[in-house]
A and B are shown apart, each in its own frame.
Chain A
Amino acid sequence: MEKRIRVVVGKPGLDGHDRGSKVVARALRDAGMEVIYTGIRQTPEEIVNTVLQEDADILGLSILSGAHMKLCQKIIKLMKEKEINVPIFLGGIIPADDIPELKKMGVNEVFGPGTSFEDIIKRVKEIVLGTAV
């Protein structure tokens, strides 16, 4: 059977602007993926636990409130503690200056405003199939 990509799409922090995350979740589903959507205001603990229990292939985060540095740091730290090795992509309002540091931290890809579905789907597939067990 063809492998189904399982994606967790999560919104950590207090930001409630979920248009982007929902629309991307739908695009990933329509590209044949199984999407576990967490809803807004998730704690890093909840998101990491979801990734763990659902055996996700990749984690997508959406943050528009400017809290991305702290939240990504926390999520990556928790994943390391739990020995979860799952790639991460990030969307939202992310200043260009922050991207190198985010990547160093362990974020695989950052999608800024205006990124097309096509690009997101393509990158997600590349990342997952490239790192698949």
Chain B
Amino acid sequence: MSWEQQYNLISDDFFKGRIYALAKMITLVENNPDSAWKIIETLKKNTLRDAPTVGFTGSPGAGKSTLVSAYVSMMAAKNQKIGVIAVDPSSPFTMGAFLGDRIRMRDISESENVYIRSVASRGSVGGLCDAIYDIVDVMKAFGFDKIIIETVGAGQSEIEIVYVADTVLLVMSPDSGDEIQMFKAGIMEIADGYVVNKIDLPQANAFSVKLRNTLALENDVKSKRKVFEVSASKNIGVEELEKWIDEFYSDMSSSGEIFKRHERRLKRRVRSNLMRVMDDIISSQEVGKNSLREFKSLIVKKYIQEEACDD
């Protein structure tokens, strides 16, 4: 069945707000990367919804899922509709994956206000999956008030989330050996909020102090970035975090920062898309006796041809 046929089967129910249709729409964009943008355009013709997107990143064992669960349950209790995307890694050898974040979100998984979708990275290396932009758009079109993304959590290379989400939180745990790794990594600079989770652990305070010293956020009066001490499992400090996320977003809206971020996102998305298509073309072309320059022109020509048929 073509994607159009599949789309037509479910689109009515999608706009009626039926969960099964949402679930199938996500599968559709995930499995049809070449036509996903057309699906998104069609969806956007029918609805003009937008929603803040919040990303949670951080190493495995930091407690991202538990924190997402605590944060989302707070919003769900206020009757906000929340869509959660939890990304787990695919095996590079078999492409199989365990999608296990949902189990750590049992407090919200039964809420009528929450939809959780587990997604496999399917070979993407940035901590998310190639279809992430499309999935977020599908969720926005469905009408969620907020979209939450949890990254794979493999660490330093996970910068893709900065482009996908409006606000990015880096979750750390004092006991997971994050310290050395994280303080060095580039990921420290990209976050908007820093969450020290498991604050009830004995070594948590020392960790927090060190983090605050390293970031020295206080020195930059203009910065709205902040460090939070929470215990997701004991629900300590999550309320403050929730409040700040909303404030940070409205600050970005009034300062115009959000538009900068939207633009950055669009550029990245186009870039990712082009790179994927280019990649396919390059790997399917024989170099033969072409010079470097000839080969390059050949690729560009091929690309233009393909783009033309696609339109």
Contacts and interface: CB of A to CB of B under 8 A. Distances in A.
Interface of A: 1, 3-4, 6, 25-26, 28-39, 45-46, 49-50, 52-55, 82-84, 133
B206 interface: no
Interface stretch (B94-102, B283-291, B298-306): B94-102
A55 B102 contact: no
B27 interface: yes
Interface in B85-126: 90-91, 94-100, 102-103, 106, 109-110, 115-118, 120, 122
B97 A1 contact: no
Interface stretch (B18-26, B143-151, B170-178): B18-26
B115 A4 contact: no
A109 B120 CA distance: 27
Given A33-B96, A38-B102, A83-B20, 12 more contacts: A29-B94, A30-B91, A31-B94, A32-B96, A37-B99, A39-B103, A49-B109, A53-B116, A54-B99, A54-B102, A55-B24, A133-B6
Q: Which 5 A-B pairs have the closest CB atoms?
A: A55-B23, A29-B96, A39-B103, A36-B99, A32-B96
B99 A52 contact: no
Nearest to B18: A83
Interface in B1-18: 1, 6
B33 interface: yes
Contact of B120 (A26, A28, A34, A83): A34
Nearest to A57: B27
B19 A32 contact: no
Contacts, number: 78
Contacts of B1: 133
B109 A25 contact: no
Contact of A28 (B23, B31, B96): B96
B32 interface: yes
Contact of B110 (A25, A30, A33, A45): A45
Contacts of B106: 46
Nearest to A50: B102
Contacts of B31: 1, 3-4
Contacts of B24: 55
B108 to A, nearest CB: 11
Contact of A4 (B98, B102, B103, B120): B120
A36 B102 contact: yes
A74 to B, nearest CB: 16
B139 to A, nearest CB: 12
Report which residue of A3, A6, A26 has the largest number of chain B beta carbons within 10 angstroms of its beta carbon. Answer: A6
Contact of B118 (A1, A29, A36, A52): A36
Contacts of A39: 103
Contacts of B102: 36, 38, 50, 54
Nearest to B33: A1
B130 to A, nearest CB: 10
B19 A52 contact: yes
A43 B109 CA distance: 12
B110 A35 contact: no
Nearest to A38: B103
Contact of A37 (B91, B98, B115): B98
Nearest to A5: B96
A46 B109 CA distance: 8
B94 A30 contact: yes
B194 to A, nearest CB: 30
Nearest to B114: A53
B117 A53 contact: yes
Given A29-B96, A35-B96, A54 B109 contact: no
A37 B103 CA distance: 8
Contacts of A33: 96
Contact of B117 (A28, A54, A83): A54
A53 B26 CA distance: 10
B23 A37 contact: no
B215 to A, nearest CB: 36
